[in-house]
Amino acid sequence: MSSAELLELQLLRKGVGALTRDRHACGGCGRTPLPGERVFRYDGAPLLCALCREGREDEPSSVELVQNTEHERTVRRLPAAA
């Protein structure tokens, strides 16, 4: 493998790692819930998507709405300096 191919492979692995590091996955099926979907947290258990929650009879400790991945990375307007 050439040095350019090795660099390309390293960059690809770094990019995939960055994408998977910040995502939440369902503890039941492993899929990534979509933005706008509700996920359910149970005490002492990983979060579950709406599909995997169907089999549980107990109430979740919290219900959260999945935000867009850019939710906290958007550009915000700052107030004008005095």
Q: What is the pLDDT of residues 21-67, one digit of tens each?
A: 666 788 889 888 888 899 999 888 888 999 999 878 889 999 998 87
Residue 70 scores a pLDDT above 70 = no
* Nearby residues of 37 by Cβ (< 8 Å), 6 or more positions away: 49, 50, 65, 66
Tell me whether residue 35 is in a domain: yes
In a domain, 5, yes or no: no
Residue 4 lies in a domain: no
Does some domain include residue 28? yes
Neighbouring residues of 38: CB distance < 8 A, sequence distance ≥ 6: 50, 63, 64, 65, 66
Q: Is residue 79 part of a domain?
A: no
pLDDT of amino acid 60: 92
Res 72 pLDDT > 60: no
Could you tell me where the DSSP H helices lie in the chain? 3-21, 50-53
Classify residue 31: in a domain, yes or no: yes
Q: Does residue 1 lie within any of the structural domains?
A: no
Does residue 68 carry a pLDDT above 80? no
* Full domain range(s) for residue 33: 23-69
Question: Is residue 60, in this structure, part of any structural domain at all?
Answer: yes
